[in-house]
Amino acid sequence: ILSVLTQAFYDAEYLFTVPPTVFNPPPKVDSGVLRLIRKKEFTLPCNEALFFKVVKQAFQQRRKTLRNSLKTFNLSNNLKANSIFGQRPEQLPVQAFIELTLLIEKDQV
């Protein structure tokens, strides 16, 4: 959820790696520092509140396909036939979530 929402609203830049030795207790992995810069005057081309709901609901049952995890939206059978619903949320880029939200918006009208 965090990755999709961050990519939707921010430009991320990798700055540097932080070794485990600077933490107490030290983790077993290196950490990275990112700079997040809010996209200026950026608005989603879809309903923002619905976008948040779709992303959150999709990742609540990560191992399931979107067809199963988005059942609460009461989607039409015609929409559920779309190939995007056969995928899992971690397989989708941010743009696909935006397109998915637009599809759900049109379906609920």
CA 65, CA 56: separation in Å to the nearest integer? 14
CA 80, CA 78: separation in Å to the nearest integer? 6
98 is in an annotated binding site: no
Phi, psi of 50 (to 5 degrees): -70, -35
Binding site residue list: 1
Binding residues for S-adenosyl-L-methionine: 1
